[in-house]
Amino acid sequence: MRVIDPGALAARLVLERPEETPDGQGGVERSFAALATVWGRIEPVSARAAEVAGTLPVTVTHRIWLRHRADLAGGMRFRKGARIFTVLTFRDPDETGRYLVCDCEEAKP
């Protein structure tokens, strides 16, 4: 079990949830709305670059720690200024209901 110092949760993040609105043609438009402001710890994990359409975008994965929330769901994202971290998975690292660890992905142009 990894012990986390609550003082290490020093990054102010906005938790955003996806919202879908009908586009009038049978599809939907997806946007994101702020749900809450939380404090977290951002740990870079890995980076990879892959050529896509003649560009070389870099995808960086991060581990984001935060206090436990019952309303977190896949597809949500965290925003820190202009940076966006998409939540891929999340878990309670020691099953005590104190913290959550989110595996996130940040795309960089």
User: How many CB atoms neighbour CB 100 within 10 A?
Assistant: 20
Coil, helix or strand for 6? helix
Which residues touch 57 (CB under 8 Å, ≥6 apart)? 49, 50, 107, 108, 109
Give the integer Cα–Cα distance in Å for 107 and 29.
21
* 70 within 8 A of 101, measured Cβ to Cβ: no
CA–centroid distance for 57 within its chain: 18
Q: For the chain, give every domain's residue range.
A: 6-108
Q: What is the pTM of this model?
A: 0.83
Encode pLDDT of 13-63 as tens digits.
999 999 998 888 888 898 999 999 999 999 999 987 776 666 777 788 999
User: How high is the pLDDT of residue 52?
Assistant: 63
pLDDT over 90 (residue 100)? yes
User: How high is the pLDDT of residue 17?
Assistant: 96
Fold designation for 6-108: Thrombin, subunit H (2.40.10)
